[in-house]
Amino acid sequence: MIDLSIFLGLAGIDLGAFADKPTTLTPGQREASTALWTSPDGRVEIGVWECTPGRFTADRSAAAEFCHILSGRIEMRHVDGRIEHLGPGDALMLPQGWKGEWLLMAQTRKIYVMIRP
């Protein structure tokens, strides 16, 4: 029999205490997250993340990441200069090796799936 994992109310679940965002370029930016499920081999993690407005760098050298935006507004800048605008209901796939910056124009919450090799 296959076991299912069901995650309800992700837009409002408590993520715990917010902490300083380590890669921020905006002093005072804070984030919180909680893992919902991790594969037995540790390669896949599903969770919810939230962050206050501001700008930060992102480096996906160690893993690919799928994101589904639940709330907020994002301007994502690729290292080649391209800019993407994302908001509630949008999703994106960051391949392993992606690097860039995120500008959160409002407090933002997303569902993430990290996929490690």
What digits encode the pLDDT tens for the residues 17-52? 999 999 999 999 999 999 999 999 999 999 999 999
The rounded percent of the chain whose pLDDT value lies above 90 is: 95
15: region left, alpha or beta (phi > 0 left; psi from -120 to 50 alpha): alpha
The Cα–Cα gap between 10 and 36 comes to: 10
Residue ranges and CATH numbers for the domains of the chain are: 23-115 (2.60.120.10)
What's the token pair of residue 64? Answer: 């690919």
What are the residues facing 93 on neighbouring strands?
66
pTM: 0.94
pLDDT tens digit string along 76-96? Answer: 999 999 999 999 999 999 999
| pLDDT at residue 1, rounded to an integer | 67
| Rounded Cα distance, 114 and 33, in Å | 13
pLDDT at 3: 77
Quick one: pLDDT at residue 85? 98
